[in-house]
Amino acid sequence: MNLWKVSFGLKAGLNISNLYDTKGEEFDSESKLGLAFGGFLSLPLGKYIGFQPEVMYSQKGFTGTGSVLTVDYEYKRNTDYIDVPLQLQIKPVPVVTILVGPQYSFLINKGFDLKSGSLSVDQQNDIENNNIRKNILGAVAGLDINFSNLVVSGRLSWDLQHNDGEGNAVSPRYKNTVAQIAIGLRF
C-alpha cells in the first residue's frame, strides 16, 4: 500500500500538560493528564514533504500544591482548547513522518479545583468576562509512525504567548506546554 497519498484520519490520545515561563509567579506546578481527539488531513507536496493540518480538542492545565499561613492547599487548573496545528511533513522513509509547524489554540472552557482543609471549590470561569487570552499562537513538533492505516503519533507543543490577555488578569500568568501521545486511523 502506498502510504504517501492524500488521506484523512481520526485520532485520540492523552495530553500531559504543564506550564513554563510563569513570569515570576510564586507557585510550583506539576503535570496534569487530559484527553485529546480530532482529525487530520495529509497532503503530499512532493516525494519527501507534505502538509498536515489538524483540528483537535485538547484538555490542558496543571496541578499544584502549597501552603499559605501553614494551611496546605491543592490546586488544579483545567482548560479546554481547540488546537489547529498546521504542520510541514517530512517523510524520510514510508513508516516515519516528522512534523513541525505553528499551532493556533482557541480557549473554549476553563475552570479550577481548590482544596484546602475543609474548603473545596470547583468553579468554571466565564471566559468572556475575564482578561484571559482566548486565542494563542504556539509551535508544535512531532513524529508519526505509520503502520498501513494505523498511525501512532507523538507531539510536543508550547505556547508562544502568555495566557494573560492584557497583563492584568487575576489568574497566574503562564504559557502551556503539552506532550501528546495518540493513536489514529488513516482513511
pLDDT in tens, the chain (187 residues): 455 799 999 999 999 999 887 666 666 789 999 999 999 999 999 999 999 999 999 999 999 877 777 778 888 889 999 999 999 999 999 999 999 999 999 999 988 888 877 777 766 655 555 667 889 999 999 999 999 999 999 999 999 998 776 655 555 678 899 999 999 999 9
d(CA 144, CA 99): 8
Which residues lie below 8 Å from residue 66, measured CB to CB, with a gap of 6+? 27, 28, 72, 73, 75
Q: What is the pTM of this model?
A: 0.86
d(CA 66, CA 106): 30
Spell out the domain ranges in the chain.
Answer: 7-51+60-147+156-177
| Angle 147-153-159 from CA coordinates, rounded to 5° | 160
For domain 7-51+60-147+156-177, the CATH architecture is Beta Barrel (2.40)
